[in-house]
Chain A
Amino acid sequence: QVTLKESGPVLVKPTETLTLTCTVSGFSLTNARMGVSWIRQPPGKALEWLGNIFSSDEKSYTTSLKSRLSISKDTSKSQVVLTMTNMDPVDTATYYCARISEYDFWSGYYRPFDFWGQGTLVTVSS
């Protein structure tokens, strides 16, 4: 059974760094055909993709937040970590992690987001 679960602070202050952890089960972060993405959703607004990481440690980030984002993984703990620096109230959102499957390194094809975590609401306020 595939599951993902986000954990981290519910409240951060402006200018602080946010660290969220996605703990996965039912699949391995060492599987060459798997990856994990982070996606966020401000209250009442649309979904926004933040970034990806694959088993090879290949990473991609959204353009507008690239300077503030970092995604890493700890395969021994089955965890993917999102770090976002210099948090601002506009970063208040529910943050989700989701699985990528069927990744093919040579073609670049993958199937995005077949499983999602439940999400965690992060509020940025002083």
Chain B
Amino acid sequence: DIQMTQSPSSLSASVGDRVTITCRASQGIRDDLGWYQQKPGKAPKCLIYAASSLQSGVPSRFSGSGSGTEFTLTISSLQPDDSATYYCLQHNSYPLTFGGGTKVEIK
């Protein structure tokens, strides 16, 4: 199974800050990676697919990059509504695996 190591597990930042979350795959997964945002008590929401493609309707302050084993999700200017837990997902090979999550809090 491919392991997805996500870091940090949590972070606290101020409104307007640039925030970066990293996911490392235990083996190469091309660009078969997505990022999901989950707010408490809600279903996850897709932000990014194919490592860097923005899902329709998602604000442009969210961006993704990377290929192979190293991926990043960047929030260019953190907003209060971005307080949530973020997960990466690899779908290069079965079983699909999620990262452990990054909880983002607003200072």
Residues of A within 8 A of B (CB): 37, 46-49, 52, 60-63, 96, 109-114, 116-119
Decide: A113 and B36 in contact? CB cutoff 8 A: yes
Chain B interface secondary structure, helix, strand, loop or mixed?
A: loop
Of B50, B55, B98, B100, which is within 8 A of A49 by CB? B98
A110 to B94, CA, bound (A): 13
Residues of chain B within 8 A of A60, CB atoms compared: 94-95
Docked-complex contact A46 and B49, CB < 8 angstroms: no
- Contact among A63, A112, A116 for B1, CB-based, below 8 A: A63
Q: Give the chain B neighbours of A113 by CB distance below 8 A.
A: 34, 36, 44, 46, 89
- Across the interface, do A62 and B95 meet the contact criterion of CB distance under 8 Å? yes
6 closest Cβ pairs, A-B complex: A116-B43, A49-B96, A62-B95, A47-B98, A60-B94, A112-B91
B96–A46 touching, CB < 8 Å: no
> Any chain A CB within 8 A of the CB of B39?
no
Q: Which chain B positions have C-beta within 8 A of A62?
A: 95-96
CA distance A124 to B89 in the complex (A): 27
